[in-house]
Structure 1
Amino acid sequence: MSAPPVDSVRAEDAPGGVRWSVVPLLRRLHFYAGVLVAPFLVVAAVSGLLYALSPQLDDVLYGDLLEVSSTAGTPRGVAEQVAAAQGAVPDGSVTSVLISDDPEETTRVVFAAPGLGEEYAKTVYVDPYSARVQGQLTTWFGSTPATTWLDGLHRNLNLGETGRLYSELAASWLWVISLAGVVLWLVRQKRLRAAVVPEKGAKGVRRTRSWHGSLGIWTLVGALFLSATGLTWSTYAGENFAAALVALNAKAPVLDTALPGSASSGQTGHGDHGGGQGQGTIDVAAFDRVFTTARTAGLDGPVEISVGEPGSAWTAAQVDNTWPVRLDKVAVDPATASVTARADFADRPLLAKLSSLGIQAHMGRLFGIVNQIALFLLATAILTLIVLGYRMWWQRRPTRADRRRPLGAAPKRGAWQQLPLWFLVPAPLVLIAVGWAIPLLGVSLVAFLVLDGVVGLVRARA
């Protein structure tokens, strides 16, 4: 949420008023953070909204590959479909096969191919009723080129690891801006009803501020959710979150793919493009055996079969991320079709479950179209808040001829001098903890404080 303007007269700022208050600090923090971070939030909101709509975009762009023309007949065996796909990519190695439970969707056979690297793969789309190859695409962890581009735009502006700083910076500050804005609005309104409903009959900056504050109240929970889930897979804060899960023994259990009597172990999971046995050594009939075993083991819905390393079990995993989710996995010996290990979603620690569900909701997948509509409304609300915030900044500009300015004045410096002791004493420890957990927030805050101090010193001397 972009920053509200500074009031010309406030009790906590006026002589004889309430001197000890955190409100002036929150007002200054909300203003500058809103003004400086809002452009990053605009990009994140727009790109995130487009990514959430990628399933519909895929249907438009790649419908001839993703969907079958006719559902007449009985689906062919998985082995026959894989064999047909191998003919389309003779120099590739099969790494996984995704069998959908939707009768109108094609089977997706994924190949590791020369020149694509570890993250990209060649995906062949096969009609399950005729075993006819409908086409192929270069995919990124199963995503189509359009979805891959939108994901990269939202994640890193398609600039690689350096670009990821933008999205982490936006997620790091979103919760700070949101909470500070809501506190400021509640302090101003004092009554909940007045805070959640825009003021009737208000005009000018008062009307803009009323809509900005009320909309911010309604958007708070969604903004906090986007900030928290976005940080879990960010570069620096994400690493700290992962380390915390390990320390709390809250990581999802690893599926052991070691065969009985073998010393090797590992995990072959959803989205794995490497580590296959190589096309020449794969017994294609093993796909039928593994798939049948997975169904017998209770894995309904869409199932992805991943080829294991030589001497290791293959993995069959549910990949249904729509609520109620189906995300169980089994390791299957491809030769004997026996289950050697199992990892069910129900057995994951609570934090691991919440992390997985939160990410899927952030992506707009968890609740289907309802999830997409919610993200659309949330993104629209955030963009509206930013526009209203900048509008207030412009509306507060001095218009008198002798002191006219293009924008309103920023909150005055020295707000820290009004902080009460109960806030000032623990503040450094809290800032250190937050800065460690969310490094980009800490670094950018320190950089702003240093720059602001230097500017203040120069102006004072002038």
Structure 2
Amino acid sequence: MQTNHIAPLQREANVGAAARYRMLWRWHFYAGLFVMPFLIVLAITGILYCFQPQIDHLLYRPLLDVASSSAPRLSYQALLTRAVAAEPRDAIATTVSIESAPTRSVEYRFKLSRGGNESVYLNPYTGAILGRLSVENRFTEQVRMIHRGLLIGKLGEIVMELAGCWTLVMLGTGIAMWWPVQRQPARFWPDKRQRGRAWWRDAHRVLGIWVVFGALAFVLSGLPWSSTWGQWFKQLVTTTGAGLPPDTYAAQTVQSLPPGAPAPIAAARPAHHADAMPGMIMDDLPIKQVPWAVGALPLPETSAELAPTIPIDRVVGLAAERHVVSGYQIVLPRRPTDVYTVSYFAPDPRAERTLHIDQYSGRVLKDIGFHEYGFIGAAVAFGTDLHMGRVFGLANQLACTAISLAILLLAASGAWLWIKRRPKGRLAAPARPVNAPAMRAWCIGLGVLGIVFPMLGVTLLLAWLVDRWIAARQDRAAALA
């Protein structure tokens, strides 16, 4: 009697499990179909950009390398004078890249009146112009912009951001479909007994489990840099002080002082008062990469003086005193109230540094280092450098390449499985179960994701409505048949 009572319950449980699996598969299919082409683009461009230092050096060696010499190096100020003389009269010098290696050239970046930016490379020993290079058109910059927004502007950036968000849905449903149940034990290798498409499906599932944490890390470390959600998140973190301690934002004395005048006492004011350049934040500066934690901070100003500005070499010396010696950029002041900004986006995030220096007195107005980052700022800094393959050198680059290749293979195998089972001329989404299960935990989880990532929430709702509409049409067609 007991066995007869259990059998119907077991059958009901099996039917419920099958229905849940089919619903998961349906949403996994929709998510995968959307993100598949973008994952392929992200994987390929990610691998290329991960090796940016090597690729740049290979492509632009004549501009980057010089012969080491025992002759003294020319001053950065003298080199700037030569670079300015070599550029059009209306070009504006914006930054200088500082490299301490004796075989590296010196790069000055100029903003051109016709649009765009151009780098000029000089031999630091002779002052000779080695050549020019468009900032926007260099190969690795084009790769980065494809990775970020498909080279189609804001629309492309939104699409890539959505692809990242929907990857979270794809990963979650994939894990749930793999998760061991009574008749399906956990497997980390494809079943050798399977053949053909069944083996590929099993291999796809298993590969997804091997790469899921790496793919999740890529998505979560990339989204803070996205142009919509990432900017909102950065502003939120900056406003609440979660990225940097609140006292980092306190105003510091920024007025230039005549010789012999006593230093005034700094007043504690929010950073958006008179010490901030209206509308300008760190992310607006014309430099290669700004540390994420300081990207939304406003730029300080100096009081306009009739005194001469300090030379670039003095700024280099001030940075060296704070152990910033190579691989950083200096943003040059353009207006009487601008400051020198030193930005060091270091391979090791613990060495990141941002300095704002009075262009007249040479006083360091602000000095922000990793030790001042809050938990979120530090987590994003580490995540970013791991994402870009910068922390552990070649080992980090190879690890990122392996994860990217696995993601590429996942996308390709998913596409192949779909093509093999798809009848000609049909989308062939997995059929919706007749009695769709409630799956409340999944609904709550997707709801939370939709709140955290609003664009994902909107598109999830649209996808659900379209799915309901398709299901209703299929039901009506079946009834008429």
Structure 1 residue 259 and structure 2 residue 251: aligned?
no
Match of 1:317 in 2: 343
Q: 1:378 to 1:124 in 2, by over 3 A?
A: same
Structure 2 counterparts to residues 236-315 of structure 1, below 5 A: 236-246=228-238, 248-252=240-244, 253=248, 259-260=254-255, 264-266=275-277, 269=282, 272-273=285-286, 286-308=311-333, 309-315=335-341
Indicate whether 1:52 and 2:45 are aligned. Answer: no
**Is it true that 1:446 corresponds to 2:446 in the alignment?**
no
Query: How do residues 2-81 of structure 1 correspond to structure 2 at under 5 angstroms?
Result: 17-19=14-16, 22-81=20-79
Distance 1:268 1:453 in 2: 45
The verdict on how the C-alpha distance between 1:300 and 1:17 changes in structure 2, with shifts beyond 3 A counting, is: same
The offset of 1:345, in angstroms, is 1.9
The one of 232, 236, 246 aligned to 2:224: 232
Pair 283,27 (structure 1): closer, same or farther in 2 beyond 3 Å? same
CA shift, 1:220, in A, is 0.6
Match of 2:103 in 1: 104
1:98–1:108 Cα contact (<8 Å) kept: yes
Deviates more, 1:211-220 or 1:362-371: 362-371
Number of the residue aligned with 2:177: 184
Per the TM alignment, residue 390 of structure 1 is displaced from its structure 2 partner at its CA by 3.0
* Counterpart Cα distance in 2 of 1:35 and 1:437: 23
State the one-letter code of the partner of 1:417.
A
Aligned in 2, Cα 1:39/1:318: closer, same or farther, shift over 3 Å? Answer: closer
Structure 1 residues 340 and 163, CA gap change in structure 2 (3 angstroms): closer
Q: In structure 1, how many angstroms separate the alpha carbons of the residues matched to 2:311 and 2:241? A: 35
1:363-378 equivalence runs, <5 A? 363-378=388-403
Whether the aligned pair in 2 keeps the contact of 1:286 and 1:335 (CA below 8 Å) is: no
Rate the CA distance shift 1:191–1:448 in 2: closer, same or farther, 3 A.
Answer: closer
Rounded Cα–Cα distance in structure 2 between residues aligned with 1:255 and 1:371: 37
Instruction: Tell whether 2:441 aligns with 1:423.
Output: yes
* Cα-to-partner distance string for 1:1-56 (whole Å, 9 max, x where unaligned): xxxxxxxxxx9996663526743322221122213321222222222223323333
SS at 2:187's partner residue? helix
Deviation at 1:159, TM superposition (A): 0.8
Letter paired with 2:61: G
Question: Which of 216, 233, 247 is residue 208 of structure 2 equivalent to?
Answer: 216
> What corresponds to 1:8 in structure 2?
none
How far, CA to CA, are the matches of 2:182 and 2:406 in structure 1?
A: 21
Q: Residue 109 of structure 1: CA displacement? A: 1.3
Pick aligned residue for 1:411 from 430, 433, 444? 430
* Structure 2 residue identity aligned to 1:181: G
Give the AA of the match of 2:370: F
Contact 2:178–2:205 (Cα < 8 Å) also in 1: yes
Corresponding letter in the other structure for 2:453: I
Shift of 1:181: 0.8
How big is each residue's C-alpha offset from its partner over 1:271-328, in whole Å with a ceiling of 9 and x where there is no partner? 7239999xxx9968611222112212332332322223413432233332x1265222
| Among candidates 85, 88, 102, match of residue 87 of structure 1 | 85
**1:46 alignment partner, SS class:** helix
Q: Which amino acid aligns with 2:475?
A: A
Paired position in structure 2 for 1:6: none
Deviations 1:143-178 (A, max 9, x none): x62222112211111111111122112101112211
**Cα gap change, 1:121/1:282 in structure 2, threshold over 3 Å: closer, same or farther?**
farther
1:353 to 2:378 alignment:
yes
Pairwise CA distance, 1:233: 2.1
What is the rounded CA distance, in whole Å, between the counterparts of 1:261 and 1:282 in structure 2? 9
Residues 242 and 377 of structure 2 are in contact (CA less than 8 Å); yes or no, is this contact kept in structure 1? yes
Q: Contact between 1:79 and 1:285, CA under 8 Å: does it hold in 2?
A: no
Whether contact under 8 Å (2:256, 2:358) holds in the other structure is no
**Which residue of structure 2 aligns with residue 164 of structure 1?**
157
Unpaired segments ≥5 residues, structure 1: 1-10, 398-403
Quickly say closer, same or farther: Cα 1:109–1:235, change in 2 above 3 A: closer
User: In structure 2, which of residues 197, 208, 221 is the aligned counterpart of residue 205 of structure 1?
Assistant: 197
2:139 corresponds to 1:146: yes
Q: SS state of the match for residue 109, structure 1? A: strand
Summarize the Cα distance change of 1:248–1:264 in structure 2 as closer, same or farther, 3 Å threshold. Answer: closer
Match of residue 125, structure 2, among 118, 123, 129: 129
Mapping of residues 358-397 of structure 1, within 5 Å: 358-396=383-421
1:320-339 counterparts in 2 under 5 A? 320=346, 322-323=347-348, 325-339=350-364
Mark the CA change 1:203 to 1:285 in structure 2 (over 3 Å): closer, same or farther: same
- Whether the 8 Å contact between 1:83 and 1:284 is mirrored in structure 2 is no
Q: Is the 8 A contact 1:75 1:128 kept in 2?
A: yes
Q: Which moved more, 1:335-344 or 1:146-155?
A: 335-344
Contact 2:36-2:415 at 8 Å conserved across structures? no
1:460 paired residue number: 475
**Distance across 1 between alignment mates of 2:405 and 2:69:** 39
Whether the 8 Å CA contact 1:255–1:330 is kept in 2: the answer is no
Shift of 1:63: 1.4
Change (3 A) 1:13 1:232: farther
Farther off after superposition, 43-52 or 78-87: 43-52
Instruction: Report sequence identity in percent.
Output: 27
Are 1:156 and 1:165, in contact at CA under 8 Å, matched by a contact in 2?
yes
TM-aligned CA distance change 1:461 to 1:311, over 3 Å: closer
User: How far off is 1:100 after superposition?
Assistant: 0.7
3-state SS of paired residue (2:450): helix
- Across the two proteins, how many residue pairs are aligned to each other? 431
Partner of 1:3: none
| Cα distance in 2 between the residues matched to 1:184 and 1:283 | 68
Question: Displacement, 1:190?
Answer: 7.5
Return closer, same or farther for 1:325/1:77 CA change in 2, 3 Å cut-off.
farther
Q: Is the 8 A contact 1:52 1:375 kept in 2?
A: yes
